[in-house]
Amino acid sequence: MTSIYIDFHIKSEKINVNLDSILGVKGKSHKINDISKTGIKLSYSEWNYCFDEKMTNEVNEVADQLFVDIESKIGELQKYIHNSECLVSIYFVIRNYEKNEDYIYYDLSRDNIINFSKINAEILFDGVS
Protein backbone atom coordinates (compact mmCIF):
# COMPACT_ATOMS: atom_id res chain seq x y z
CA MET A 1 0.00 0.00 0.00
CA THR A 2 1.33 3.41 -0.99
CA SER A 3 0.13 6.90 -0.23
CA ILE A 4 1.19 10.19 -1.77
CA TYR A 5 0.58 13.77 -0.72
CA ILE A 6 1.76 17.15 -1.96
CA ASP A 7 3.80 19.45 0.25
CA PHE A 8 3.47 22.91 -1.35
CA HIS A 9 6.30 25.37 -0.53
CA ILE A 10 6.69 29.02 -1.47
CA LYS A 11 9.74 31.10 -0.54
CA SER A 12 10.65 34.77 -1.03
CA GLU A 13 13.46 37.11 -0.06
CA LYS A 14 11.38 40.11 -1.16
CA ILE A 15 8.15 39.91 0.88
CA ASN A 16 6.61 37.88 3.69
CA VAL A 17 4.68 35.23 1.76
CA ASN A 18 1.38 33.76 2.89
CA LEU A 19 -1.08 31.86 0.71
CA ASP A 20 -3.71 31.23 3.40
CA SER A 21 -6.23 33.65 1.92
CA ILE A 22 -5.59 32.72 -1.72
CA LEU A 23 -5.77 28.94 -1.27
CA GLY A 24 -8.24 29.00 1.60
CA VAL A 25 -6.08 26.80 3.85
CA LYS A 26 -3.96 27.44 6.94
CA GLY A 27 -0.31 26.79 6.13
CA LYS A 28 2.83 27.00 8.24
CA SER A 29 4.97 30.07 7.73
CA HIS A 30 7.83 32.19 8.94
CA LYS A 31 8.68 35.77 8.08
CA ILE A 32 11.81 37.61 7.01
CA ASN A 33 13.96 38.35 10.08
CA ASP A 34 12.35 35.57 12.17
CA ILE A 35 14.84 33.62 14.25
CA SER A 36 15.28 29.96 13.28
CA LYS A 37 15.34 27.07 15.76
CA THR A 38 19.14 27.21 15.55
CA GLY A 39 19.22 30.93 16.38
CA ILE A 40 19.91 32.26 12.88
CA LYS A 41 18.11 35.38 11.64
CA LEU A 42 16.31 34.36 8.44
CA SER A 43 16.70 36.46 5.29
CA TYR A 44 13.67 34.92 3.61
CA SER A 45 10.02 34.18 4.18
CA GLU A 46 8.48 30.77 3.60
CA TRP A 47 4.99 29.28 3.59
CA ASN A 48 4.05 25.63 3.19
CA TYR A 49 1.00 23.42 3.30
CA CYS A 50 0.54 19.66 3.03
CA PHE A 51 -2.46 18.68 0.93
CA ASP A 52 -4.49 15.59 1.81
CA GLU A 53 -2.81 12.22 1.53
CA LYS A 54 -4.22 9.89 -1.11
CA MET A 55 -3.85 6.12 -1.25
CA THR A 56 -2.41 5.62 -4.74
CA ASN A 57 0.72 4.63 -6.66
CA GLU A 58 0.38 7.38 -9.25
CA VAL A 59 1.54 10.95 -8.74
CA ASN A 60 -0.80 12.11 -11.53
CA GLU A 61 -3.85 11.27 -9.42
CA VAL A 62 -2.53 13.51 -6.64
CA ALA A 63 -1.49 16.27 -9.06
CA ASP A 64 -4.91 16.14 -10.76
CA GLN A 65 -6.63 16.54 -7.40
CA LEU A 66 -4.41 19.49 -6.46
CA PHE A 67 -5.38 21.34 -9.63
CA VAL A 68 -9.06 20.55 -9.11
CA ASP A 69 -8.73 22.03 -5.60
CA ILE A 70 -6.97 25.22 -6.75
CA GLU A 71 -8.38 25.61 -10.28
CA SER A 72 -10.45 28.70 -9.49
CA LYS A 73 -7.45 30.33 -7.79
CA ILE A 74 -4.75 29.75 -10.45
CA GLY A 75 -4.88 33.30 -11.88
CA GLU A 76 -4.59 34.92 -8.46
CA LEU A 77 -1.84 32.45 -7.49
CA GLN A 78 0.12 33.19 -10.69
CA LYS A 79 -0.09 36.94 -10.06
CA TYR A 80 1.02 36.55 -6.43
CA ILE A 81 3.98 34.34 -7.40
CA HIS A 82 5.06 36.76 -10.14
CA ASN A 83 4.72 39.89 -7.97
CA SER A 84 6.51 38.40 -4.97
CA GLU A 85 9.32 36.92 -7.11
CA CYS A 86 9.08 33.79 -5.02
CA LEU A 87 10.24 30.24 -5.58
CA VAL A 88 7.62 27.51 -5.67
CA SER A 89 8.47 23.90 -4.84
CA ILE A 90 6.02 21.02 -5.08
CA TYR A 91 7.11 17.93 -3.16
CA PHE A 92 5.36 14.65 -3.87
CA VAL A 93 5.83 12.85 -0.56
CA ILE A 94 5.53 9.11 -1.05
CA ARG A 95 4.96 6.60 1.74
CA ASN A 96 5.37 2.98 0.76
CA TYR A 97 4.04 0.81 3.56
CA GLU A 98 4.90 -2.50 1.89
CA LYS A 99 8.56 -1.83 1.05
CA ASN A 100 9.16 -2.27 -2.67
CA GLU A 101 6.02 -4.32 -3.29
CA ASP A 102 4.21 -1.46 -5.00
CA TYR A 103 5.11 0.03 -8.33
CA ILE A 104 5.09 3.82 -8.09
CA TYR A 105 4.40 5.77 -11.26
CA TYR A 106 6.52 8.94 -11.09
CA ASP A 107 6.01 10.39 -14.57
CA LEU A 108 3.75 13.42 -14.63
CA SER A 109 1.33 13.80 -17.51
CA ARG A 110 1.86 16.55 -20.06
CA ASP A 111 -1.20 18.39 -18.68
CA ASN A 112 0.17 18.34 -15.14
CA ILE A 113 3.58 19.53 -16.30
CA ILE A 114 1.85 22.44 -18.07
CA ASN A 115 -0.20 23.20 -14.93
CA PHE A 116 2.89 23.25 -12.70
CA SER A 117 4.73 25.44 -15.20
CA LYS A 118 1.90 28.00 -14.93
CA ILE A 119 2.92 28.58 -11.31
CA ASN A 120 6.67 28.22 -12.00
CA ALA A 121 6.88 25.21 -9.71
CA GLU A 122 9.91 23.05 -9.17
CA ILE A 123 8.81 19.40 -8.89
CA LEU A 124 10.51 17.11 -6.38
CA PHE A 125 9.89 13.60 -5.10
CA ASP A 126 10.55 12.62 -1.51
CA GLY A 127 10.08 9.24 0.14
CA VAL A 128 9.30 8.60 3.77
CA SER A 129 9.12 5.33 5.61
**DSSP one-letter code for 85:** T
Query: How many residues appear in the chain?
Result: 129
Query: What is the number of other CB atoms lying within 10 angstroms of the CB of residue 9?
Result: 20
Task: Indicate yes or no: pTM above 0.85.
Answer: no
Which amino acid, residue 104?
A: I
pLDDT over 60 at 129, yes or no: no
For 1-60, the pLDDT digits (tens) are 788 899 999 999 999 999 999 999 999 999 999 999 899 999 999 999 999 999 988 889
> d(Cα 96, Cα 8) in Å, to the nearest integer?
20
Q: Which pLDDT score is estimated for 94? A: 85
By C-alpha distance, which of 92, 95, 86, 94 is closest to 29?
Answer: 86
pLDDT over 70 at 104, yes or no: no
For 70-103, the pLDDT digits (tens) are 889 999 999 999 888 899 999 998 887 666 555 6
pLDDT over 60 at 64, yes or no: yes
Query: What is the number of other CB atoms lying within 10 angstroms of the CB of residue 93?
Result: 18
